[in-house]
Structure 1
Amino acid sequence: MASTAPHPNPLPEGERELFSEHRQFWLLAFFAILILAVGIGLRDPWPSDEPRYTLAAKQMVESGDWLFPHRGVELYADKPPMLMWLEAASFELVRNWRIAFMLPSFLAALGTLWLIYDLGRRLWNRKIGMYAAMTALMCIQFVFQAKRAQIDPLVVFFITAANWGLLRHLLCGPNWRLYWFGCFCAGLGVITKGVGFLALLMLLPYAWAAVRRWDGIAAIDNATWWRWLLGLVATLAAIALWLVPMLLAARAHAGDPVYTTYVNNILFKQTAHRYANAWHHIHGPLFYLPLMIYNWLPLSLTYPGTLPRWWQALKAKDARILLPLGWIVLVFLFFSASGGKRDVYILPIVPMLALITAPYLQDMLAKRWLRALGAIFLLLIGGCMLGLGIYALGAHPAFATKLAYDRGFEGPADSLWWMCIVIGAAQWLALAIFRLHRAHYAVAGGMLALWMVWGLWAYPLLNDSSSSVGLMHRVSTHLGPQNEIGLIDWKEQNMLMLDRHAMDFGFSAPTSQQFVRGAQWQAAAPAARWLFAQEPAMGHCVDRSKAIDVGHANRRDWWLFKADAVIPGCMPKNSDEAPEPDDAAS
């Protein structure tokens, strides 16, 4: 007969609930690591920004000069060196660039998720913290950027860390050490991308709430006003970690105008001047509104439910909602006021948006409308992927051929469309399994399928063409062990993917000037030196019959030639193009 004796050591109700929450936390952590890490090591840096930063990091390691980033022979002054430092440091640890260049973004994204989990846990409870992290993880743009080696995941982390310290002090405090820590992280954000100071805007809605005695504001003794000013000291101290050594080193090169130009560029042109007088990516004041819907899917599906709930919380004077929401509005207005706009600029909003969505998520998921929106989202995105894949496989449309040519893709074209079919089928399958009642699980499964296919299938499939590793391998097959190569009108991925040192004649110099310098360099040792150039840079100065067409990659045609192909005394007339903006897609 079966025993009916109770379990010998039953856990009390509270401990069982805590055990369940710990298990859920580690399941969430595993899910986040799986989504964010899949594909690391399976590709090289892809344009537009990744090869630029990785090349600078690689040159730091090779030259030992970590203070001034280089792009070939030129100083690279468009961004502070924080990401490049971290990529170089990652390489020193793992000794593999394919892994090292992705590590900073991966760790920054994980850190961001933990920070908003911890804020949700402290401001509400553990379940809200897990909802906050999961909500951010379900934002397409957040994950897409986290899987790229760009500056944005890092600046999002530092801004979120600053917000974490400030909110811990302003809502859970007083805790002056965390306030100073938050200000310090804001300074680290400044030397990452310049906009880290935006975290300090959190003090404005706090001041409003404190004056009007909103619920949830920490009882901070403002008599010791000097403690607030130490926050500014902490911010400046973080900035000084890079700024002071850089200025001292630049002063040591006072006779070299290159370093003076570097200082003026990075401190003024790329900051205030770029904001007030943007010279590219010009858009209207409403540019970000539609992006906050379709770039932030499926997180944005919650807007119909969160907007009225936020309003009710504001009427109830809940400072836990006011401070993050007020900060979101201020950051949105800041970026909208500038003429230069890119979708990624407002990415730092996402963690705070996820935080103030989380308290209402369980209630909204109990309503049919949100589950229905989730199901419609999967039906549409899955249907689009299925339809595109099936149509391209069956009809072989001209756009598919053009896409493959523009990207320099030389693999089996059908693989691209089968990839779309697998993603769409997986999303529909997830919906069929979980149905409308548990549509949120279907959405999570659909997003997991998307990122798994992207990391495990798309990365290896597209890497040769997207990274230029295939192009530069073809170049290397024409070079002997003793041959040298010079680059004209080149892109960062060309130098990065070469198997040897390359000579360059400037990156931002006019291409005609690069050509003349390159021809002079080649003429000094014509038997051993090759030149690699874009088609337009050659103009009518290169005899194509004596040059080698090495292929089409990154929407450009590339050639390789020796001195006998160069027409003596010729200067290209049609190649003096302005260099592409730092953020332009390649």
Structure 2
Amino acid sequence: MQQRWIIVTLLCLILFFFQLGSLPLMDPDEPVYAQTAKEMLAAGDWLSPRIFGEVWFDKPPMYYWLVAGVTMLLGPTEWAARLPAAAMALGTVWLVYAFMKNRFGSASAAASAVVLATSLEFFYLAKGAVTDSTLTFFLTACLLAYWEKRIMLAYVLAALATLTKGPVGLLFPGAILLLELLSRGDWRGFIKLQLPKGLLVYAAVALPWYIAMYAVHGQVFVDTFLGMHNVTRFTSAEHDVSNVWTYFVPVLILGFFPWVTLLPQTVWLAWKEAQYERRTLRFLLLWAAFIFIFFTIAKTKLVSYILPMFPPLAMLVGWRLSRLWVQPVKQRAWAIACGALHGLLGAGLVYGQALMPALAWGAFLAAGILLVTGAGASWQIWRGGYQRAWVTLAAGASAFLLTLVLVLLPLAAPQFTAKEIAEDFKANYDGASSVYVIKFLRPGFVYYTDASTEEVGTTLFHNKVDTRAVLQQMVSRQERAYFVLRLSDYRLLSEAEQKKLTVLSTRYEVLLLLKEGTL
């Protein structure tokens, strides 16, 4: 039994930690977290997150603290920025394994852990310097602690989730547990929540940072953090293109690949037919459903938001797989869906490489892995070899994910990072002139240069700045200045204004420009 845990752990170490620091930080999100931790360390201020020399109220401090701690040991590197996310992802897989082992046995535990670790979105966010893996770890630990009747520990973990991403740290587990109790009509269950004592424990852990921030920064902290970055994100769309109710359907299909093809029957059977541990299965269903519905209702939608539903989905699919191993039934629909989805994604990669020729050989390699995996797994499912199919899917997914890390992402990364243009800037900068950087590129540019910059860009939630007018005003200043712009931003200027700027470097569609003037 211990051997299965070791294999799962080794798989996670390879997937999550291998080449973790090999890619530059990707704009715009990763550099924000890395730069904020870097500036908190430089200022010696562990209370107030800050970026570009100003206090930053976007997120609570947990991930910044973790990155700052690692940075103290390793220095400001890509590895340091991403290590906490990878460690939290590994911790989440361990939680899933331990919970399923206690409830359904080691076979279900291994199946669930591998399903989670090899899911595309979980893997991707495990290797990204963003908060989602950390939030998912604390929420998963909180809900599973409650289910194992460690009530006070659950409140502590909810508080840590609140220090990671705000009120959702309490709202999500509270709402999920409330729905679970209501679904069973278990009114006495509310007594077992020990709300008075539990909320005191929660407040003792979660509130000191919030109280201290209010004491130092006053009402602006409440208005910006709770108002704009929580309430407004829920009620207003930050990005209009994502404000459609079907947004998370393709996100789930791709993000939970390759296991999503088994999900429909798993959900149905877990709700309708499961007799043993029926309450646990319904709890997992309610957990996943609440996360999905909540963010579907929310106006602002990002791909990473539904990550907290992946652990319960993985546990449900792991449960279903382990049942098929001992009670095999025909799975023709799963076989067809599995082969079709692998084939579609493989074809998509082949088609997509024509749009980005630099990725051609990597895309063909990844497509080949998908097609071989899909064909092999579908054939085994059709013949009833479900354990072999699970191994094939897990091995194929692992090979595909490693191909992304070793081949495709290194080829694509220069188009999504400010690192290369930052290196060009350092080679050309005179050390004194003003530096103007478009908003999208500014966090990464500052992280890699430590330069003092002024931002050109837009604000959140439709309070848009006229980028063209701002650029025109900056170009008209009587000073020597450097500009870092995307080609689309540069084209907003008139021909006469463009002539005032000398192109020093071009990296894909990012330009380093110099406007001569008086030093």
TM-score (norm 2): 0.84
Give the one of 222, 227, 234 matched to 1:268. 227
Larger Rg: 1
Give the one of 40, 45, 56 matched to 2:25. 45
1:91: Cα distance to partner?
0.8
Equivalent position of 2:401 in the other structure? 451
3-state DSSP of counterpart to 1:300: helix
Letter in 1 for 2:120: I
Aligned partners of 1:90 and 1:46: how far apart in 2?
Answer: 19
Are the aligned partners of 1:305 and 1:364 in contact in 2 as well (CA < 8 Å)? no
1:119: Cα distance to partner?
1.0
Are the aligned partners of 1:374 and 1:443 in contact in 2 as well (CA < 8 Å)? no
Are the aligned partners of 1:40 and 1:102 in contact in 2 as well (CA < 8 Å)? yes
Aligned partners of 2:476 and 2:34: how far apart in 1?
Answer: 28
Aligned partners of 1:386 and 1:133: how far apart in 2?
Answer: 31
> Is 1:361–2:321 an aligned residue pair?
yes
Equivalent position of 1:296 in the other structure? 256
Equivalent position of 2:203 in the other structure? 236
Identity %: 20
Aligned partners of 1:459 and 1:345: how far apart in 2?
Answer: 22
1:551: Cα distance to partner?
4.5
1:243: Cα distance to partner?
0.7
What aligned pairs does 1:68-87 form with structure 2 within 5 A after superposition? 68-87=48-67
Does the C-alpha gap of structure 1 residues 109 and 245 become closer, same or farther in structure 2, counting only changes over 3 Å?
same
Equivalent position of 2:366 in the other structure? 423
Equivalent position of 2:161 in the other structure? 189
3-state DSSP of counterpart to 2:194: helix
Q: Which one is further off, 530-539 or 262-271?
A: 530-539
Structure with a larger share of its residues in helix: 2
Letter in 1 for 2:436: L
> Is 1:207–2:181 an aligned residue pair?
yes
Letter in 2 for 1:327: W
Q: Deviations over 1:523-555 (max 9, x none)?
A: 4xx5xx645556459845975445321455575
1:85: Cα distance to partner?
1.9
3-state DSSP of counterpart to 1:559: strand
Letter in 2 for 1:385: L
1:115: Cα distance to partner?
0.8
Equivalent position of 2:116 in the other structure? 136
Aligned partners of 1:96 and 1:488: how far apart in 2?
Answer: 21
What aligned pairs does 1:139-218 form with structure 2 within 5 A after superposition? 139-169=119-149, 178-194=150-166, 195-197=168-170, 198-208=172-182, 211=185
Are the aligned partners of 2:472 and 2:493 in contact in 1 as well (CA < 8 Å)? no
Letter in 1 for 2:54: E
Are the aligned partners of 1:468 and 1:497 in contact in 2 as well (CA < 8 Å)? no
Q: Deviations over 1:196-252 (max 9, x none)?
A: 220222322442366469xxxxx9894xx683322222322332142122122225x
3-state DSSP of counterpart to 2:300: coil
Q: Which one is further off, 58-67 or 457-466?
A: 457-466
Equivalent position of 1:173 in the other structure? none
Are the aligned partners of 1:184 and 1:238 in contact in 2 as well (CA < 8 Å)? yes
Letter in 1 for 2:501: A
Equivalent position of 2:271 in the other structure? 311
Letter in 1 for 2:318: A
Does the C-alpha gap of structure 1 residues 516 and 287 become closer, same or farther in structure 2, counting only changes over 3 Å?
closer
> Is 1:463–2:413 an aligned residue pair?
yes
3-state DSSP of counterpart to 1:68: coil
1:376: Cα distance to partner?
4.0
1:274: Cα distance to partner?
2.6
Letter in 1 for 2:58: D
Equivalent position of 1:487 in the other structure? 436
3-state DSSP of counterpart to 2:47: coil
Are the aligned partners of 1:551 and 1:557 in contact in 2 as well (CA < 8 Å)? yes
3-state DSSP of counterpart to 1:109: helix
Does the C-alpha gap of structure 1 residues 268 and 478 become closer, same or farther in structure 2, counting only changes over 3 Å?
same
Give the one of 65, 86, 89 matched to 2:45. 65
Aligned partners of 1:64 and 1:542: how far apart in 2?
Answer: 46
Are the aligned partners of 2:34 and 2:447 in contact in 1 as well (CA < 8 Å)? no
3-state DSSP of counterpart to 1:417: helix
1:267: Cα distance to partner?
2.1
Aligned partners of 1:467 and 1:265: how far apart in 2?
Answer: 28
Letter in 2 for 1:299: W
- CA RMSD between the two structures: 3.3
Q: Which one is further off, 429-438 or 356-365?
A: 429-438
Q: Deviations over 1:289-318 (max 9, x none)?
A: 443334322221112431332133467782
Equivalent position of 2:462 in the other structure? none
1:558: Cα distance to partner?
4.3
Give the one of 524, 541, 547 matched to 2:501. 547
TM-score (norm 1): 0.75
Aligned partners of 2:247 and 2:391: how far apart in 1?
Answer: 32
Are the aligned partners of 1:72 and 1:506 in contact in 2 as well (CA < 8 Å)? no
3-state DSSP of counterpart to 2:203: helix
Aligned partners of 1:537 and 1:261: how far apart in 2?
Answer: 37
Are the aligned partners of 1:386 and 1:425 in contact in 2 as well (CA < 8 Å)? no
Q: Which one is further off, 107-116 or 84-93?
A: 84-93
Unaligned runs of 5+ in 2: 460-464
